[in-house]
Amino acid sequence: MKFLNISDVRSARERIAPHVTRTPIVQSSLLNQWMGHDIYFKAECLQSVGAFKARGACNTISWLAENNRIPKHIVANSSGNHAQAVAWAASRLGVSATIFMPSYSSQVKIQATASYGASVVLCDTRDIADQKVREASEKEGTVWIPPFNHEQVISGQGTAVLEAIEETGEVDAIFAPCGGGGLLSGSLIASRGISAKTKVIGAEPLAGNDAAQSLRANKIHRLSEAPNTLADGAMTLAVGEITFEYLKQLDAFYEIGEDKMIYWTQWLTHLLKLHIEPTSALAMAGAAKWLSEQSSRKKILIILSGGNIDHNTNRTIWKEDQLSNPPSLSMKNHF
Protein backbone atom coordinates (compact mmCIF):
# COMPACT_ATOMS: atom_id res chain seq x y z
CA MET A 1 0.00 0.00 0.00
CA LYS A 2 1.27 3.46 -0.93
CA PHE A 3 0.77 5.78 2.02
CA LEU A 4 -0.57 9.31 1.62
CA ASN A 5 1.49 12.26 2.84
CA ILE A 6 1.15 15.93 3.72
CA SER A 7 1.27 16.98 0.05
CA ASP A 8 -1.96 15.04 -0.55
CA VAL A 9 -3.64 16.92 2.29
CA ARG A 10 -2.35 20.28 1.05
CA SER A 11 -3.65 19.51 -2.45
CA ALA A 12 -7.02 18.68 -0.92
CA ARG A 13 -7.08 22.00 0.89
CA GLU A 14 -6.57 23.85 -2.38
CA ARG A 15 -9.44 21.95 -4.01
CA ILE A 16 -11.98 22.47 -1.26
CA ALA A 17 -11.07 26.04 -0.29
CA PRO A 18 -13.83 27.64 -2.44
CA HIS A 19 -16.48 25.41 -0.89
CA VAL A 20 -15.88 24.55 2.77
CA THR A 21 -15.75 26.69 5.89
CA ARG A 22 -12.47 27.36 7.67
CA THR A 23 -13.84 26.50 11.07
CA PRO A 24 -12.69 28.33 14.21
CA ILE A 25 -10.50 27.15 17.07
CA VAL A 26 -12.27 27.62 20.40
CA GLN A 27 -11.27 27.24 24.04
CA SER A 28 -12.83 27.30 27.48
CA SER A 29 -10.67 29.07 30.07
CA LEU A 30 -12.72 27.42 32.81
CA LEU A 31 -12.14 23.93 31.39
CA ASN A 32 -8.41 24.65 31.07
CA GLN A 33 -8.35 25.77 34.70
CA TRP A 34 -10.21 22.71 35.93
CA MET A 35 -8.16 20.24 33.86
CA GLY A 36 -4.79 21.96 34.29
CA HIS A 37 -3.96 21.75 30.58
CA ASP A 38 -4.35 23.88 27.45
CA ILE A 39 -7.15 22.41 25.34
CA TYR A 40 -7.99 23.67 21.86
CA PHE A 41 -11.08 22.58 19.95
CA LYS A 42 -11.41 22.57 16.15
CA ALA A 43 -15.14 23.30 15.76
CA GLU A 44 -16.11 21.14 12.78
CA CYS A 45 -19.65 21.25 14.19
CA LEU A 46 -19.70 24.68 12.48
CA GLN A 47 -18.59 23.21 9.14
CA SER A 48 -20.84 23.11 6.07
CA VAL A 49 -23.45 20.35 6.68
CA GLY A 50 -22.51 20.52 10.37
CA ALA A 51 -19.63 18.05 10.23
CA PHE A 52 -16.07 17.44 9.01
CA LYS A 53 -17.44 15.05 6.36
CA ALA A 54 -17.94 17.99 3.99
CA ARG A 55 -14.18 18.09 3.53
CA GLY A 56 -13.71 14.52 2.27
CA ALA A 57 -16.80 14.50 0.07
CA CYS A 58 -15.97 17.84 -1.51
CA ASN A 59 -12.33 16.87 -2.11
CA THR A 60 -13.27 13.59 -3.77
CA ILE A 61 -15.76 15.12 -6.19
CA SER A 62 -13.42 18.05 -6.92
CA TRP A 63 -10.57 15.59 -7.56
CA LEU A 64 -12.76 13.67 -10.01
CA ALA A 65 -13.52 16.93 -11.84
CA GLU A 66 -9.85 17.90 -11.84
CA ASN A 67 -9.00 14.59 -13.51
CA ASN A 68 -11.84 14.80 -16.06
CA ARG A 69 -13.63 11.93 -14.36
CA ILE A 70 -16.72 13.72 -13.12
CA PRO A 71 -19.58 11.20 -13.31
CA LYS A 72 -23.19 11.56 -14.37
CA HIS A 73 -24.29 10.23 -11.01
CA ILE A 74 -22.81 9.70 -7.54
CA VAL A 75 -23.85 7.10 -4.98
CA ALA A 76 -22.89 6.80 -1.33
CA ASN A 77 -23.72 4.79 1.78
CA SER A 78 -23.84 6.31 5.25
CA SER A 79 -25.77 6.43 8.51
CA GLY A 80 -25.47 10.18 8.71
CA ASN A 81 -22.95 12.94 8.17
CA HIS A 82 -21.27 11.46 5.08
CA ALA A 83 -24.72 11.16 3.49
CA GLN A 84 -25.34 14.87 3.97
CA ALA A 85 -21.83 15.75 2.85
CA VAL A 86 -22.01 13.85 -0.45
CA ALA A 87 -25.48 15.23 -1.18
CA TRP A 88 -24.27 18.78 -0.46
CA ALA A 89 -21.01 18.49 -2.41
CA ALA A 90 -22.70 16.84 -5.40
CA SER A 91 -25.28 19.61 -5.48
CA ARG A 92 -22.61 22.33 -5.39
CA LEU A 93 -20.73 20.69 -8.25
CA GLY A 94 -23.82 19.95 -10.34
CA VAL A 95 -23.97 16.15 -10.07
CA SER A 96 -27.03 14.08 -9.13
CA ALA A 97 -26.71 11.73 -6.15
CA THR A 98 -28.42 8.77 -4.51
CA ILE A 99 -27.65 7.96 -0.89
CA PHE A 100 -28.36 4.60 0.73
CA MET A 101 -28.98 4.94 4.47
CA PRO A 102 -29.99 2.48 7.21
CA SER A 103 -33.53 3.16 8.41
CA TYR A 104 -32.23 3.68 11.98
CA SER A 105 -30.22 6.74 10.87
CA SER A 106 -30.87 10.04 12.60
CA GLN A 107 -34.04 11.65 11.24
CA VAL A 108 -32.26 15.00 11.20
CA LYS A 109 -29.56 13.56 8.94
CA ILE A 110 -32.04 11.77 6.66
CA GLN A 111 -34.04 14.96 6.15
CA ALA A 112 -30.93 17.09 5.64
CA THR A 113 -29.60 14.68 3.00
CA ALA A 114 -32.84 14.90 1.06
CA SER A 115 -32.92 18.69 1.43
CA TYR A 116 -29.61 18.95 -0.46
CA GLY A 117 -31.31 17.36 -3.46
CA ALA A 118 -30.17 13.74 -3.20
CA SER A 119 -32.45 10.75 -3.58
CA VAL A 120 -32.49 8.91 -0.24
CA VAL A 121 -33.04 5.13 -0.17
CA LEU A 122 -33.69 3.77 3.35
CA CYS A 123 -32.59 0.18 4.03
CA ASP A 124 -33.45 -2.13 6.93
CA THR A 125 -29.79 -2.67 7.89
CA ARG A 126 -26.34 -1.24 7.24
CA ASP A 127 -25.37 -4.43 5.40
CA ILE A 128 -28.28 -3.99 2.99
CA ALA A 129 -27.33 -0.35 2.40
CA ASP A 130 -23.76 -1.43 1.68
CA GLN A 131 -24.95 -4.10 -0.78
CA LYS A 132 -27.29 -1.74 -2.58
CA VAL A 133 -24.64 0.94 -3.04
CA ARG A 134 -22.24 -1.64 -4.51
CA GLU A 135 -24.91 -2.72 -7.00
CA ALA A 136 -25.78 0.88 -7.91
CA SER A 137 -22.11 1.76 -8.45
CA GLU A 138 -21.88 -0.80 -11.26
CA LYS A 139 -24.13 1.26 -13.50
CA GLU A 140 -22.39 3.15 -16.31
CA GLY A 141 -21.55 6.75 -15.49
CA THR A 142 -21.87 6.19 -11.73
CA VAL A 143 -19.18 6.69 -9.08
CA TRP A 144 -19.37 5.45 -5.48
CA ILE A 145 -17.91 7.72 -2.79
CA PRO A 146 -17.46 5.57 0.33
CA PRO A 147 -17.62 7.19 3.77
CA PHE A 148 -14.00 6.58 4.79
CA ASN A 149 -12.11 3.93 2.81
CA HIS A 150 -10.96 6.17 -0.05
CA GLU A 151 -7.70 8.08 -0.45
CA GLN A 152 -9.32 11.35 -1.52
CA VAL A 153 -11.86 11.17 1.29
CA ILE A 154 -9.03 10.66 3.79
CA SER A 155 -6.97 13.50 2.30
CA GLY A 156 -9.93 15.84 2.58
CA GLN A 157 -10.56 14.94 6.22
CA GLY A 158 -6.92 15.69 7.02
CA THR A 159 -7.39 19.34 6.11
CA ALA A 160 -9.11 19.97 9.46
CA VAL A 161 -5.91 19.21 11.38
CA LEU A 162 -3.77 21.04 8.81
CA GLU A 163 -5.80 24.21 9.37
CA ALA A 164 -5.87 23.77 13.12
CA ILE A 165 -2.13 23.33 13.67
CA GLU A 166 -1.36 26.30 11.43
CA GLU A 167 -3.45 28.35 13.87
CA THR A 168 -2.54 26.81 17.24
CA GLY A 169 1.08 25.98 16.52
CA GLU A 170 2.60 22.66 17.57
CA VAL A 171 0.58 20.60 20.05
CA ASP A 172 1.50 17.64 22.22
CA ALA A 173 -1.42 15.49 21.11
CA ILE A 174 -4.42 15.42 18.76
CA PHE A 175 -7.65 13.57 19.58
CA ALA A 176 -10.38 12.52 17.15
CA PRO A 177 -13.30 10.07 17.23
CA CYS A 178 -13.24 6.86 15.22
CA GLY A 179 -16.06 5.47 13.11
CA GLY A 180 -14.57 4.05 9.93
CA GLY A 181 -11.24 5.76 10.59
CA GLY A 182 -11.21 8.40 7.84
CA LEU A 183 -10.88 11.42 10.15
CA LEU A 184 -8.21 9.75 12.28
CA SER A 185 -6.28 8.62 9.19
CA GLY A 186 -6.32 12.12 7.72
CA SER A 187 -5.40 13.62 11.09
CA LEU A 188 -2.42 11.28 11.39
CA ILE A 189 -1.18 12.10 7.88
CA ALA A 190 -1.49 15.86 8.43
CA SER A 191 0.07 15.75 11.88
CA ARG A 192 3.03 13.59 10.86
CA GLY A 193 3.71 15.96 7.98
CA ILE A 194 3.80 19.05 10.19
CA SER A 195 4.95 17.85 13.60
CA ALA A 196 6.34 14.33 13.83
CA LYS A 197 6.48 14.38 17.64
CA THR A 198 2.77 15.17 18.08
CA LYS A 199 0.82 12.15 19.30
CA VAL A 200 -2.39 11.22 17.47
CA ILE A 201 -4.98 9.40 19.58
CA GLY A 202 -8.38 7.92 18.74
CA ALA A 203 -11.53 7.06 20.66
CA GLU A 204 -14.61 5.02 19.79
CA PRO A 205 -17.73 3.83 21.64
CA LEU A 206 -17.14 0.80 23.84
CA ALA A 207 -20.53 -0.42 22.58
CA GLY A 208 -19.22 -0.38 19.00
CA ASN A 209 -15.54 -1.14 19.44
CA ASP A 210 -14.75 -2.85 16.15
CA ALA A 211 -11.63 -0.70 15.63
CA ALA A 212 -10.24 -1.50 19.08
CA GLN A 213 -10.88 -5.21 18.54
CA SER A 214 -9.21 -4.97 15.14
CA LEU A 215 -6.14 -3.27 16.60
CA ARG A 216 -5.82 -5.87 19.35
CA ALA A 217 -6.11 -8.75 16.88
CA ASN A 218 -4.06 -7.02 14.15
CA LYS A 219 -6.77 -7.84 11.63
CA ILE A 220 -10.07 -6.18 10.74
CA HIS A 221 -12.94 -7.27 12.95
CA ARG A 222 -16.49 -6.73 11.66
CA LEU A 223 -19.44 -6.34 14.00
CA SER A 224 -22.40 -8.61 13.31
CA GLU A 225 -24.97 -5.81 13.75
CA ALA A 226 -25.20 -2.06 14.20
CA PRO A 227 -23.95 -1.11 17.68
CA ASN A 228 -26.32 0.34 20.27
CA THR A 229 -24.63 3.68 20.89
CA LEU A 230 -25.57 7.36 20.98
CA ALA A 231 -22.55 8.06 18.77
CA ASP A 232 -24.39 7.62 15.48
CA GLY A 233 -21.34 9.02 13.67
CA ALA A 234 -19.37 5.99 14.86
CA MET A 235 -21.84 3.18 14.12
CA THR A 236 -19.77 1.59 11.37
CA LEU A 237 -19.54 -2.20 11.36
CA ALA A 238 -15.83 -2.26 10.44
CA VAL A 239 -12.95 0.00 9.53
CA GLY A 240 -11.60 -0.05 5.97
CA GLU A 241 -8.57 -1.81 4.53
CA ILE A 242 -6.97 1.58 3.85
CA THR A 243 -7.86 3.28 7.13
CA PHE A 244 -6.78 0.28 9.22
CA GLU A 245 -3.19 0.73 8.05
CA TYR A 246 -3.22 4.27 9.46
CA LEU A 247 -5.04 3.32 12.67
CA LYS A 248 -2.24 0.88 13.42
CA GLN A 249 0.13 3.88 13.59
CA LEU A 250 -1.83 5.72 16.29
CA ASP A 251 -0.14 6.48 19.62
CA ALA A 252 -3.13 5.37 21.72
CA PHE A 253 -6.74 4.33 21.33
CA TYR A 254 -9.55 4.49 23.90
CA GLU A 255 -12.92 2.80 24.23
CA ILE A 256 -15.53 5.10 25.75
CA GLY A 257 -18.63 4.13 27.69
CA GLU A 258 -21.98 5.77 26.96
CA ASP A 259 -22.03 7.47 30.38
CA LYS A 260 -18.72 9.26 29.71
CA MET A 261 -19.96 10.27 26.26
CA ILE A 262 -23.11 11.80 27.74
CA TYR A 263 -21.10 13.54 30.46
CA TRP A 264 -18.80 15.26 28.00
CA THR A 265 -21.55 16.08 25.51
CA GLN A 266 -23.32 18.02 28.23
CA TRP A 267 -20.20 19.76 29.48
CA LEU A 268 -18.80 20.73 26.08
CA THR A 269 -22.20 22.05 24.99
CA HIS A 270 -22.33 24.13 28.17
CA LEU A 271 -18.75 25.41 28.22
CA LEU A 272 -18.25 26.06 24.51
CA LYS A 273 -21.82 27.16 23.72
CA LEU A 274 -21.81 24.93 20.67
CA HIS A 275 -24.07 22.13 19.42
CA ILE A 276 -21.98 19.01 20.07
CA GLU A 277 -22.71 15.49 18.75
CA PRO A 278 -22.04 12.59 21.13
CA THR A 279 -19.49 11.35 18.58
CA SER A 280 -17.48 14.55 19.18
CA ALA A 281 -17.52 13.87 22.92
CA LEU A 282 -15.65 10.60 22.31
CA ALA A 283 -12.52 12.61 21.54
CA MET A 284 -12.84 14.70 24.72
CA ALA A 285 -13.41 11.59 26.83
CA GLY A 286 -10.28 10.03 25.34
CA ALA A 287 -8.34 13.23 25.96
CA ALA A 288 -9.44 13.28 29.60
CA LYS A 289 -8.17 9.72 30.06
CA TRP A 290 -4.84 10.57 28.45
CA LEU A 291 -4.41 13.81 30.39
CA SER A 292 -5.07 12.02 33.68
CA GLU A 293 -1.91 9.98 32.99
CA GLN A 294 0.36 12.97 32.26
CA SER A 295 2.82 14.47 34.75
CA SER A 296 3.25 17.90 33.10
CA ARG A 297 1.00 20.52 31.51
CA LYS A 298 0.06 19.62 27.93
CA LYS A 299 -1.24 21.51 24.93
CA ILE A 300 -3.74 19.41 22.99
CA LEU A 301 -6.12 19.66 20.05
CA ILE A 302 -9.54 18.00 19.97
CA ILE A 303 -11.54 17.64 16.75
CA LEU A 304 -15.23 18.33 17.39
CA SER A 305 -16.39 16.22 14.48
CA GLY A 306 -19.99 17.34 14.15
CA GLY A 307 -23.09 18.92 15.63
CA ASN A 308 -26.09 17.18 14.09
CA ILE A 309 -28.37 15.75 16.78
CA ASP A 310 -31.99 14.65 16.46
CA HIS A 311 -34.66 15.15 19.11
CA ASN A 312 -34.58 11.60 20.49
CA THR A 313 -30.82 11.58 20.96
CA ASN A 314 -30.90 15.03 22.53
CA ARG A 315 -33.58 13.91 24.97
CA THR A 316 -31.46 10.92 26.04
CA ILE A 317 -28.36 13.07 26.48
CA TRP A 318 -30.13 15.51 28.79
CA LYS A 319 -32.26 12.99 30.68
CA GLU A 320 -30.02 13.26 33.75
CA ASP A 321 -28.09 16.37 34.76
CA GLN A 322 -24.29 16.06 34.62
CA LEU A 323 -23.52 19.74 35.09
CA SER A 324 -23.61 19.53 38.88
CA ASN A 325 -20.44 17.43 38.65
CA PRO A 326 -17.66 19.60 37.13
CA PRO A 327 -14.69 17.93 35.39
CA SER A 328 -11.46 17.52 37.32
CA LEU A 329 -8.50 15.26 36.71
CA SER A 330 -8.37 14.57 40.45
CA MET A 331 -11.75 12.81 40.06
CA LYS A 332 -10.48 9.94 37.93
CA ASN A 333 -13.77 8.10 38.17
CA HIS A 334 -14.89 10.44 35.37
CA PHE A 335 -12.30 9.05 33.03
Catalytic annotation present for 298: no
Helix axis angle for 278-291 and 258-272, nearest 10°, is: 100
Out of 42, 44, 50, 53, the active site residue is 53
Q: Which of 106, 137, 280, 305 is catalytic?
A: 305
Strand partners of residue 299: 38
Q: What's the rounded Cα separation, in Å, for the pair 41 and 268? A: 10
Per the annotation, the verdict on 62 as an active-site residue is no
The residue from 44, 210, 255, 277 that is catalytic is 210
Catalytic residue among 62, 78, 79, 280: 79
Secondary structure tally for the chain: helices H, strands E: 14, 10
In which order are the strands placed within the sheet that holds 299-304?
25-26, 38-43, 299-304, 173-177, 199-205, 252-256
Q: In whole angstroms, give the CA distance from residue 283 to residue 285.
A: 5
How many Cβ atoms sit within 10 Å of the Cβ of residue 223?
Answer: 16
Consecutive H or E run containing 42: strand 38-43
Can 208 be counted among the known catalytic residues? yes
Strands 252-256, 173-177: pairing kind:
unpaired
Active-site annotation holds for 182: no
Of the listed 80, 180, 208, 306, which one is catalytic? Answer: 208
Asked if 204 is an active-site residue, the reply is: yes
Respond yes or no: is residue 2 known to be catalytic: no
Please enumerate in sequence order all residues whose Cβ is within 8 A of that of 293, keeping only pairs 6 or more positions apart, or say none.
none
Spatial separation of the C-alpha atoms in residues 256 and 263, rounded to whole Å: 11
CA-based R_g, the chain, Å: 18
Neighbour-count burial for 18-32, b at 16+ CB within 10 Å, e otherwise: ebbeebeebebeebe
Task: Give whole-number Cα distances, 280 to 44, 113, 186, 232, 305, in Å.
Answer: 9, 20, 16, 10, 5
Among 204, 232, 255, 277, the active-site one is 204
Check if the beta carbon of residue 236 is closer than 8 Å to that of residue 225. Answer: no
Q: How far apart are CA 50 and CA 57, in angstroms?
A: 13
| Catalytic (active-site) positions | 53, 79, 204, 208, 210, 305
